[in-house]
Amino acid sequence: MSFTTDITEELLQLPIKKTCCRKALLLGILCACRTDAEGGMTAYFYHENVANLTEFLLKKVFNCDALLNKTVRAGRKTWVLSFRSSGVSAFLEQLDGGCDQAAHMAVGFRCPACRIAFLRGVFYGTATVTDPRKGYHAEMIFPTEGRANFVSNFLTDIIAKPIRVKRGERHGCAYKCNSSISDLLYYIGCSGTSFDVANVCIERDIRNQENRATNCVTRNISHSVAASLRHREAIEKLIATRRIDTLPKELRQTAALRMEYESASLQELALLHEPPISKSGLNRRLSKLMEAAGETSTDKA
């Protein structure tokens, strides 16, 4: 099953008992339905239980008989619901015409739970959510721009302003932020999956921090090894030409320690001196050795 299907299964376990909330849920679902030139309406579902719920609510709320058929679209099992309803048609016309206030009145929103039910219905009818282990993306796609505008304003008020997207002739709203997706799922009642999304985000952040730390350590080690190699090559040149004997005592001490402890970091090498010196002091000595050998040092780590 897809991640969206898992969310739908969780939401379907939540009962809606109030008549006003049932109407809000139904109208949310039907935001995705299409209307033909003769006034007939068609809604497509990839989840059989959502299709059955919509058919039941149409009869219960609008006393509307619907025809439910099973087919295959783009290789997926699809349930097609065909019906006629003046109440649903009037609501969709208000959405398509940009009459937000009239649409709010048509839905009702008679109790706080109505807003939750409406958005849950929109999710049933239009939403897809990517598995957070693969990426953060949730979107709701509508047949008309007016419906997308209405839901976008609705989401802005209760979650966050969504990104507007377009899929061919269809319009939609999307979230690409894990916190907004988690808030959306929690708001419509999918608390279990909401926490899962948040936990996945935390896990990914921890892994990313670990990877950054590992990469940083690897880069530092590589830099240290390369610097040590350049230092030793310069010192070997000084030894081969006997110029090492003409250098001050402290430089000869540093050269000897560098040759003996080739894998030591600069901090470790500085502490091996007798008496110990600072890291900046060691850098100055190594630079002088490089200069004496005719090399240029830019190593400061």
pLDDT of residue 198 exceeding 80, the answer is: no
What is the DSSP code string of 179-247?
Answer: HHHHHHHHHTT-HHHHHHHHHHHHHHHHHHHHHHHHHHHHHHHHHHHHHHHHHHHHHHHHHHTTGGGGS
Q: In 3D, which of 12, 9, 53 has the Cα closest to residue 29?
A: 53
pLDDT of residue 33 exceeding 70, the answer is: yes
Q: In 3D, which of 289, 286, 174, 197 has the Cα closest to residue 238?
A: 289
Q: Among 9-18, 62-71, 130-139, 190-199, which is the least confidently predicted range?
A: 190-199
Instruction: Say which amino acid occupies 83.
Output: F
pLDDT of residue 267 exceeding 90, the answer is: no
Extract the tokens encoding 286: 């190594």
Cβ atoms of residues 45 and 79 within 8 Å = yes
Band of the pLDDT at 301, cuts 50, 70, 90?
very low
The label of the residue with tokens 């040759």 reads: 259
Extract the tokens encoding 41: 């309406």
pLDDT of residue 202: 65
- Mean pLDDT (whole number) for 259-268: 83
More confident residue, 199 or 23: 23
Q: What angle do CA 54, 60, 66 make, to 5 degrees?
A: 50
pLDDT of residue 271 exceeding 80, the answer is: yes
- Mean pLDDT (whole number) for 134-145: 91
pLDDT of residue 236 exceeding 70, the answer is: yes
pLDDT of residue 222: 74
Give 58's strand partners.
Answer: none
Band of the pLDDT at 298, cuts 50, 70, 90?
very low
Band of the pLDDT at 101, cuts 50, 70, 90?
low
Mean per-residue pLDDT over the chain, rounded: 85
Cβ atoms of residues 14 and 190 within 8 Å = no
pLDDT of residue 106 exceeding 80, the answer is: no
- Cα gap 38→79, rounded to integer Å: 21
Q: Among 23-27, 44-48, 293-297, which is the least confidently predicted range?
A: 293-297
Extract the tokens encoding 177: 């932020």
Q: In 3D, which of 289, 288, 284 has the Cα closest to residue 300?
A: 284
In this structure, the chain runs to a length of 301
- Mean pLDDT (whole number) for 272-281: 88
Tell me if the pTM is above 0.75. Answer: no
More confident residue, 187 or 220: 187
pLDDT of residue 70 exceeding 90, the answer is: yes
Extract the tokens encoding 225: 């090894």
β-bridge pairing 41-45 and 76-83? antiparallel
